[in-house]
Structure 1
Amino acid sequence: MTPITTTAELMAFCDKLKGQPFVAVDTEFMRETTYWPKLCLIQAAAPGVEAAIDPLADGIDLEPFLVVLRDPAILKVFHAARQDVEIFNNLSAMPTPLFDTQVAGMAAGFGEQIAYDALVRQMLKIELDKSSRFTDWARRPLSDNQLTYAIADVTHLAELYPMLRKRLEDEGRLAWVTDEMASLNDPANYDVDPENAWKRLRPRRHTSKYLSVYRAVAAWRERTAQTRDQPRGRILKDEAIDEIATQAPTDAEQLDRLRSAPKGFSGSRYGPELLSAIREALKDHEAYAPVIERARHAPSPAAGAVVELLKVLLKARAEEAGVASKLIATVSDLELIANSDEAATAALTGWRREAFGEDALKLKRGELALVLDGARVRVVEVRRAPKAST
């Protein structure tokens, strides 16, 4: 197999994709030592046509394929799409609309975050060759075995999609995954603005001084990682951001006292830049500190126990429905429900409320009980005795 290496070849291939109902897409990339993922190969397949595209080929312009990704008339099919979508979003080509077979598999009863090879095995009865799984995709030339391995991902993905979609339609569950698919297209998920970097982390305090330094350090790390094209963790660990925000060092001596700061950090090329960012944030920490909305309801003393009961209920209802529990609710959702019947969570809206949310509220009110029946948990209604008349 020969990959596409010229813009002319790519244009000819993309002409064949026009008018197709869908295109299956996968990528091979490297990012172990970089901030920005290095796109090494793009695989695409639609009914009757497939190809591997070499984005590292000298002089190739990917724009013809990016146009396909932007085309709202062509559905883009991925498996575990988030990292692929991030790459194309960085190229200003958000794949829209999108269908993720991993998310769909959760609704179709294949478990939580099912791997691609497992889905192929269960639905197509094919065992994938994994011999090229850990290939250095940046090296050239790629062997025939490597290219065959890579293109197989979209070949089978193009077969899986119609089967999986029909299964969801037949079971009335296609709408169950619509919100999940839409969220994958939300640009906010791939925001690389350094000033928003703190949102991916978990600040532990709420004072304006702490939050202003926290935001400043997270922004400095993000900006430095982008500029130097290095992973965030190589610049500064997450736990160091919390300690720096707590102590708010403003000179080299204070910075060197921190346990989480690497030895000699203040004297490195990073130290002066970081201290400058901290001092700037502290000039008006109340204005610079991000606003974090606090919970409107105080945590219930019994919330921990309620969450544990809700976990059991969720597992029981998910098994009955044949759907991955994560698609219905997360632990964060359960914590919100445990503290408030009016919690702002998707688990209390739409089909999720029907499948689980309403029962969760009934369990809190004592209207449902969890009964162990052998190795299985049953959910039963609690019949309350009528009040005695006076």
Structure 2
Amino acid sequence: MTARQPAVHSLLITTSDALADFCGSLAHAPYITIDTEFLREKTYWPILCLVQIAGPEADQVAAIDTMAPGLDLAPLAALLKNTKVTKVFHAARQDVEIFFRLTSAIPKPIVDTQVLAMVCGFGDAASYETLASKLANVRLDKLARFTDWSRRPLSARQLDYALSDVIHLRGIYQKLHDKAEKTGRLEWIAEEMALLTDPATYEFNPENAWKRLKTRSEKPRFLAVLKEVAAWREREAQSRDVPRNRVLNDENIVEIAAHVPETPEQLAQCRGLTRGFADSRNGEAILTAVRRGLAIPENEAPKLPPRPDIPPGLGPLIDLLRVLLKLRCDEFEVAQKLIASSSDLERIAADDHAKVPALHGWRRKVFGEEALALKHGKLALTAKGRSIRIISLE
């Protein structure tokens, strides 16, 4: 039976002097664990409400009230920029985005325990709760998860919940790090960490907003209008600081690009839109965006990423590669997601020199070399009872 999560001593920092002292005490720590509490349901940009940090020592833990009046966050920014201190997150992307916007710099170096867990046999997306249960032997109290973190004062239960994440993350990180180091897999996560520390990952350029929309049409006029309307929505959401769908939802944008309305009457006929909206300031702005899209020359219209040219008849080979991938990932106790996607398998089936991660570096040793050997008849898969085995034919 797992132990219940113990109550923790709540240390809440609300003054600049206390923050400077706390961050200063961690300046030479080998690592710190970090988590944040924020709100984003009603805004475009996340509202940072609390930052929780713990160092390796038991008493090195605090919650920083980022909403405290007059609090100077410069010491926190300096700690995040200190390259001698590893910053440990779980599912880091949103936290890193917040700090990038707050400090205009990305914390480095970082380790994401969710990714680290992928190379240590915990599947494609191990939750924090799963790791806390299996590695820290605690059952978390998650009732405070959906609390309003912007309201003050914070309760003792809220602070206990917030601080517990970084406290238990210490043990989780240390156990995962030790296992990955012992098996020589720390370098396996380097590519994923490079992506998380690339500023381009967190750029919100309105001109690229159309790329997030799901569409199959490759018609130049459609894509040109789609790009302009999506860019308008992104700029409008940013300037008003509201969620994108509060301005216009994705389906509306695709519908507008498909029908190319030129008048308020035609815009109102698009599914999900009303005449009142079409006659509004937003309606006129959308029609202006449509006109901008129509004015783009066809040869300058945006293009969808090229799709792989998969020859017919490769389905059975792709299925065999999928089985091989599972076998190798089970053997190495590494998440399949880190090795190859379904699209990657299709590319490998069609091209020995496909530009996919699985054919390079450590992934090639784990899977890529045998994938090519299977493709060219140099190894086979056979069943014995309930087991699938790999047999070399050379």
- TM bucket by the smaller chain? over 0.9
Q: Displacement of 1:200 after TM fit?
A: 2.5
- Provide the C-alpha distance between the structure 2 equivalents of 1:202 and 1:342, rounded to a whole number of angstroms: 28
Q: Displacement of 1:323 after TM fit?
A: 1.0
Structure 1 pair 374–261 and aligned structure 2 pair: CA distance change class (3 A): farther
- 3-state DSSP class of the match of 2:142? coil
CA contact (8 A) 1:368 1:379 kept: yes
The corresponding residue for 1:76 is 87
- Provide the C-alpha distance between the structure 2 equivalents of 1:63 and 1:288, rounded to a whole number of angstroms: 45
CA contact (8 A) 1:281 1:288 kept: no
Unaligned segments of structure 1, at least 5 residues: 384-390
The corresponding residue for 1:388 is none
Moved more, 128-137 or 271-280: 128-137
Letter in 2 for 1:57: A
1:214-240 superposed Cα distances (whole Å, 9 cap, x missing partner): 111111111111122221122222233
Asked if 1:104 is matched to 2:132, the reply is no
Q: Displacement of 1:90 after TM fit?
A: 1.3
Alignment of 1:227-306 (within 5 A): 227-261=239-273, 264-286=276-298, 289-295=301-307, 298-306=309-317
- 3-state DSSP class of the match of 1:270? helix
1:254-304 superposed Cα distances (whole Å, 9 cap, x missing partner): 222222545643123321111111112222243652244424x63211244
1:168-218 superposed Cα distances (whole Å, 9 cap, x missing partner): 010111111111111111112111111121232344233322221111111
Aligned CA RMSD, in angstroms, stands at 1.9
Letter in 2 for 1:17: L
The corresponding residue for 1:387 is none
Q: Displacement of 1:82 after TM fit?
A: 0.7
CA contact (8 A) 2:265 2:275 kept: no
Q: TM-score, normalised by structure 1?
A: 0.92
* Candidates 49, 64, 68, aligned match of 1:40: 49
1:287-334 superposed Cα distances (whole Å, 9 cap, x missing partner): 652244424x63211244433332222111111111111111122222
Q: Displacement of 1:143 after TM fit?
A: 0.7
Q: Percent sequence identity over matched residues?
A: 50
1:93-146 superposed Cα distances (whole Å, 9 cap, x missing partner): 311111001100010111121111211211122222223222221111111111
- 3-state DSSP class of the match of 1:253? helix
The corresponding residue for 2:32 is 23
- Provide the C-alpha distance between the structure 1 equivalents of 2:39 and 2:266, rounded to a whole number of angstroms: 37
Letter in 2 for 1:8: D
Moved more, 138-147 or 297-306: 297-306
* Candidates 323, 328, 351, aligned match of 1:340: 351
Asked if 1:5 is matched to 2:43, the reply is no
The number of aligned residues is: 382
The corresponding residue for 1:221 is 233
* Candidates 319, 322, 341, aligned match of 1:330: 341
Moved more, 2-11 or 51-60: 2-11
The corresponding residue for 1:362 is 373
- Provide the C-alpha distance between the structure 2 equivalents of 1:32 and 1:266, rounded to a whole number of angstroms: 26
- Provide the C-alpha distance between the structure 2 equivalents of 1:368 and 1:256, rounded to a whole number of angstroms: 61
CA contact (8 A) 2:380 2:393 kept: yes
The corresponding residue for 1:307 is 318
- 3-state DSSP class of the match of 1:377? strand
Asked if 1:185 is matched to 2:197, the reply is yes
- Provide the C-alpha distance between the structure 2 equivalents of 1:256 and 1:298, rounded to a whole number of angstroms: 39
Q: Displacement of 1:32 after TM fit?
A: 1.5
CA contact (8 A) 1:204 1:242 kept: no
Unaligned segments of structure 2, at least 5 residues: 1-9
Structure 1 pair 261–333 and aligned structure 2 pair: CA distance change class (3 A): farther
- Provide the C-alpha distance between the structure 1 equivalents of 2:209 and 2:78, rounded to a whole number of angstroms: 29
- Provide the C-alpha distance between the structure 2 equivalents of 1:320 and 1:21, rounded to a whole number of angstroms: 32
